[in-house]
Amino acid sequence: MKRTALLAPIALLVPAAALSLVVSCAPPYPPPPATRVAEVVDTLHGVEVPDPYRWLEDQDSAETRRWIDEQNAYAERIVGQPPLRARLAGRLGDLMDTDETETPRRGGDFEYFTMRRKGEELPIVYRRPAPAGAGEAGAPATSGRSSRPDPAGTYEVVIDPHPMSPDRTTRVEIVAVERTGARLIYSVRDGGQDEVEIRVRDLASGGDLPDRLPAALYSSVSFARDAGGFYYSRRSRETGARILFHAWGEPVDQDEVVFGEGYGPTAFVSMTQADEGRVFIYTVQHGWARTEVFVQDARRARPPTPVVTDADARFYPRMVGGELWMRTDLDASNNRLVAVDPASPAPDRWRVVIPETDEVMEDFTVIGDRVYVTYLSDATNRIRVFEKDGTPAGEIDVPPLSQASIRGEGDGEALLTVESFTSPATTWRLDLETGERTIEEPPDVTWDASAVEVEQVWAASKDATRVPLFVVHRRGIALDGSHPALLTGYGGFYAARKPDFSATAATWVESGGVYAVAVLRGGSEFGERWHRAGMLLDKQNVFDDFIAAAEWLVSSGYTSPERLAIQGASNGGLLVGAALTQRPDLFRAVSCAFPDVDILRFHRFTRTNNMPALLEYGDASIPEHFETIRKYSPYQNVRAGTAYPAVLVATGDLDTRVPPLAGRKFAARLQAATSSGLPVILRYHPKAGHAAGRGLPFSRRLEDAALELTFLMAQLGMPVE
């Protein structure tokens, strides 16, 4: 059911008596470990900014390591081992422990793919014989065959990471497969850090070649079509990204720089080989709002030809029939599709293939003679079909309130994958002529959604902007404010928050809770204007939107402040950190994971890999940015003597994208400041980070999920059964 409602913002304050009642009903919690205060005061643009826990930025000091150990022990003491935790671990295991696979890639006579089988800790690289018509070698296979356990025993292990580390925190991933099937490039990652090693496996001998790239930030890795080596993008915190070429057998430090000279650390540089390797497409992404595009003949006899260099817009290029087709927001906030002749790329010669509409063009793919375009409509997907000249040619039926993607299968078929809050991702084989569809990959999850209802509702933010949120709950609940609710969101980096299936959400709703997702400015859900309204000097809009969503849940009777929890990670960690420091009265419990919470010093954190984020958050070294950032940066806005909610902060040493020092300092400052009597705990792991499922083996991921949910449910007084 889709329900639309719009309420004005309300001034929601919990009376002191009510807050006292909430706190007094909580069990008495032991105090946190003592944390030393060593006052440091920075002066930025004439403003003094105290930083009492600066010493916790030294990740490797003996004092910091002792403090982390004490914090982990305290977290376990607070959460404990109640029956609730055991029940949640079991149920989350049922929902999470399924076969996890990636799309196969063709190489010679085989398809290569990674799969974590149910019950195993890590994904393993496998191969199997490729069927006839399985797709171009080196590209994702188009057979669509499931990678689930094979009774015929045709899956052959290529690389098993389990023996690589005793704690099962080393992961491998396929990066590229050579067309002939002679070699496979794969990455090796230690824990959750962004940096990986690049290795090359000789598939005939089963051993690795001496050609190896040391741990760094890599992308756009692809084999040269003449088999003489491979191309890759390497990004440095200091000098930025470059495209290089490595010739087989040559020293890595002599690899040739192909493209990227002159770009700094706030830019991403990538390369795609197109037109069967005859054309190179270079893209330079400046943050998440501007792109440059260049093309070059693969022989590199001439310098790259600029296609776009000075437009304040994003471009996503690919070759289609000898033309460069680009999805772009240039003069089209909701995106449009244009075609460019690479030999004559002047903007006045561009051809509009599909113009902008009132829905956001999210992606496109060409299957046969038609173009299949995925749109965002009120943060859910629909798929429209066009002829190559842009003439509308129908639509693929997609269930309401879901997300969907489509890819070609050849011979008039496609694979359609659909996911929603109540249904795990399901892949259908679709006959593009008849519309007939059959399940290709059924979901491997047992969850009964028959008693569950999903609504899309609308709140009004502080400036009256309409903000949608999805609300998931049992059918027929009374709107009396009594239900425990979990609200989450993201709001940044042009990332869309669409309906998806979550083991945490499913377990929460099964347990009688209300689960809600707020669609916030800063994302892509309503185009580039929506994105820019939540970045840089307008970042506060994101927090206002989230607070408005929380107020809507309370005023509409779904929950109350003493029964409302919020959850966010990464940029979502910044979101909930800002929300709890700006409106501590509105929430009872908070889960804040791998968070960006010291934005005021973000530009000074030289160990982070995410300098491009300065183009999204702003740079406090710039006076105008400083004035905005200091008003919302969560760490600086913790106030002593404030009755804060119960808070769980989670992070780890190997988060090289968002500095874990910020999470450590935030937890310490909240522990010292809060007057509510509710606990503030830190969950910390030396191998956890931002990448590869946080970099932990499955059993630890399950353990952390159970701890988080136990903490939130216990704080909201949810029953064991």
DSSP letters, 212-230, are EEEEEEEEEEEE-TTSSEE
Query: What would you measure as the largest C-alpha separation in the chain, in angstroms?
Result: 77
Q: Which residue in this structure is represented by tokens 């992961």?
A: 171
Q: Are 310 and 335 in contact (CB under 8 A)?
A: no
Asked whether the beta carbons of 352 and 344 are under 8 A apart, the reply is: no
Residues 263, 172: Cα–Cα separation, whole Å? 30
Candidates 170, 217, 179; CA nearest to 198 is: 217
Q: Average pLDDT over the chain, rounded to whole?
A: 93
Closest CA to 17 of 641, 672, 585: 585
Rounded to 10 degrees, the C-alpha dihedral 663/668/672/673 comes to: -10
At residue 137, φ and ψ (nearest 5 deg) are: -60, 140
Distance (Å, whole) CA 519 – CA 401: 13
Can you give the pLDDT at residue 5? Answer: 37
- The number of angstroms, rounded, from the C-alpha of 460 to the middle of its chain's C-alpha atoms is 26
Per residue in 388-420, pLDDT (tens digit) is 999 999 999 999 999 999 999 878 999 999 999
> For residue 605, which amino acid is it?
F
Q: Give the integer Cα–Cα distance in Å for 14 and 649.
A: 24
Name the H helices within 284-380.
Answer: none
Tell me the chain's radius of gyration from C-alpha atoms: 26
CA distances from 54 to 234, 299, 527, 641 (A): 32, 52, 39, 21
Q: With 0-12 CB in 10 A as exposed, 13-18 as middle and 19+ as buried, what is 598?
A: buried
Question: In sequence order, what are the residues at sequence separation of 6 or more whose Cβ sits closer than 8 angstroms to the Cβ of residue 151?
Answer: none
Residue 166, C-beta contacts closer than 8 angstroms, at least 6 positions apart: none
Nearest one of 222, 258, 261 to 240, comparing CA atoms: 261
H or E segment and range at residue 684: strand 680-685
Burial classification of residue 204, based on how many CB atoms lie within 10 Å of its CB (0-12 exposed, 13-18 middle, 19 or more buried): exposed
3-class DSSP state for residue 458?
Answer: strand
What per-residue string of b and e applies to 239-270 under the rule 16 or more CB within 10 Å gives b? ebbbbbbbeeeeeeeebeebbbeebebbbbbb
Rounded to an integer, what distance in angstroms lies between the CA atom of residue 525 and that of residue 607?
32
Q: What is the pLDDT of residues 505-550, one digit of tens each?
A: 999 999 999 999 999 999 999 999 999 999 999 999 999 999 999 9
Question: Distance between CA atoms of 451 and 506, rounded to whole angstroms?
Answer: 12
Domains of the chain: 16-95+447-715 (3.40.50.1820), 100-265 (2.130.10.120)
Residue whose token pair is 């059964």: 721
CA distance 576 to 502: 19
Could you tell me the pTM of the whole model? Answer: 0.94
| DSSP state at residue 98 | S
Q: What are the catalytic residues?
A: 570, 690
**In angstroms, rounded to a whole number, what is the distance separating the alpha carbons of residues 349 and 411?**
34
Residue 466: the pLDDT is 98
Is 237 within 8 Å of 258 (Cβ atoms)?
Answer: no
Q: What is d(CA 50, CA 54) in angstroms, rounded to the nearest whole number?
A: 9
CA 346 – CA 339 distance, rounded (Å): 11
Compute φ and ψ for 697, nearest 5 degrees: -65, 165
* The token pair that represents 48 in the structure block: 């003094």
- H/E segment holding residue 24: helix 16-25
| Amino acid present at 210 | P
User: Three-state SS for 451?
Assistant: coil
Among 462, 506, 509, 489, CA closest to 590: 489
Sign of the Cα pseudo-torsion (14, 16, 21, 27, in order): positive
Decide: residue 72, CB within 10 A, 0-12 exposed, 13-18 middle, 19+ buried.
middle
- The H or E element containing residue 210 is strand 208-223
Which residues does the chain have with pLDDT short of 70?
1-27, 133-152, 720-721
DSSP string, 116-141: E-TT-SS-EEEEEEPPTT--STTSB-
Question: Helix-strand-coil percent breakdown of the chain, rounded to 5?
Answer: 25, 35, 40
Residues shown for the chain: 721
Rounded distance between C-alpha atoms, residue 432 and residue 418, angstroms: 16
Token look-up 């499955």 returns 698
